[in-house]
Amino acid sequence: MATTLTRLVLRRVLTGGITLVVVTALIFWLAGIAPFDPVAAHLGAAQEFADAQTRARIAAQLRVDDPWWKHWLIWLRGLVSGDLGWSSAHRQPVSAVLGARLGWSALLGAAALPLAAAASFLLALASVRRPGGSLDRTVSAAVTVVAATPAFLICLGLIAVVAVRFGWLPAGGVAPAGQAATAGVVASHLVLPAIALASALVPWLTLHLRESMVTVYASPAVNGARARGATEAQVLTGQVMPAAVMPAVTVLAARLPELVTGTVLVETVFGWPGIGQALVRAATSVDYPLLAATTLTAGIVVVAGNLAADVLQWRIDRRTRKGLQ
């Protein structure tokens, strides 16, 4: 059994590693054909006053004329030796850029995931108490509308209503200008981005959890437990919640790429200083090393999440072991 799990992990790690290498190559290729001027991005506002000699010198430094695959091979060689390269957009090593931003992205994800899981479970639980009832139909309609709404509209709606109209919470950043980023200040700035990011997961989690819970509530095991005098709390903890674990794990793993994409958008809209902002700036500046490193980091998160989901499925549900082997 342990050998089978080891083979599963090694196979997933191997295929995930190959996928990440291919993804980084595609990133360099796409950056090479993108209609952005890396020299202009490097100069910023000073480009209006830069002469041809200055532009030619910077173009040579950035190796603008080199094909994308040369940039990729140079970056790949540095990656093997532990050097992620130099970020032309931030004027510092890529490792320093990621080191300063990864913690903020991790904090946002750590706040959004439990929020999405708790909200989805409560909504699904409210729905299954009376399947087909008014509350069930309302919840299904609400999560469908949220799923169909573009993420940037949710972000802007939260800012317009909660931050601007009522002034309950700050609209962006991690702290007001000139104010220290204390735990309380950061927490207040974290609420709206976390809600916006969680909204990408809530609809799908809710619908899958509802389907699983409806099946469990109507099962002979639950009917037998009730006949033996089990309370609703005992049915919930003993029958319903264990059955809801697998769908939640499966959906979270399947939606991890969407969560990573949502993080980029949410961080950009709310001015959250995570790797999402760095990714956008790297793309518009054709900053090859930073663009590849941020994409690789996001890819590792997705691969690791899917691997964790496979291992959990293998451990929890014996029926999935044959399919995952």
Tens digit of each residue's pLDDT (9 = 90 or more) over 294-318 = 888 888 888 887 787 777 777 665 5
Residue 273 lies in a domain: no
Whether 238 and 295 map to the same domain: the answer is no
Q: Which of 207, 242, 277 finishes a domain?
A: 242
Please give the Cα distance from 50 to 53 (Å, whole number).
8
Across 45-59, 106-120, 279-293, least confident range: 45-59
The total number of structural domains in the chain stands at 2
Phi first, then psi: what are they for 93, rounded to 5°? Answer: -60, 145
Question: At how many degrees (to 10) do helices 94-128 and 134-148 cross?
Answer: 160
Do 216 and 306 fall into the same domain? Answer: no
In a domain, 252, yes or no: no
Short-list 308, 224, 309, 259, CA closest to 105: 259
- Between 115 and 181, where is the model more confident? 115
158 and 137 in a single domain? The answer is yes
**Shared domain check, 165 and 216:** yes
Residue 180's identity, in one-letter code, is: A
Q: pLDDT tens digit string along 145-202?
A: 998 888 889 999 999 999 999 999 998 888 887 787 888 899 999 999 999 999 988 8
> What is the rounded average pLDDT of the residues 106-113?
90
Under 8 Å between Cβ of 279 and 289: no
pLDDT at 37 > cutoff 90: no
Domain extent for 192: 96-242
Q: Are residues 105 and 219 in the same domain?
A: yes
Tens of pLDDT, residue by residue over 86-96, are 887 888 899 99
> Does one domain contain both 139 and 182?
yes
Residue 197 lies in a domain: yes
> What distance in Å separates the CA atoms of residue 214 and residue 316, rounded to the nearest whole number?
20
Instruction: Establish if 120 belongs to a structural domain.
Output: yes
Q: Are residue 63 and residue 141 in the same domain, yes or no? A: no
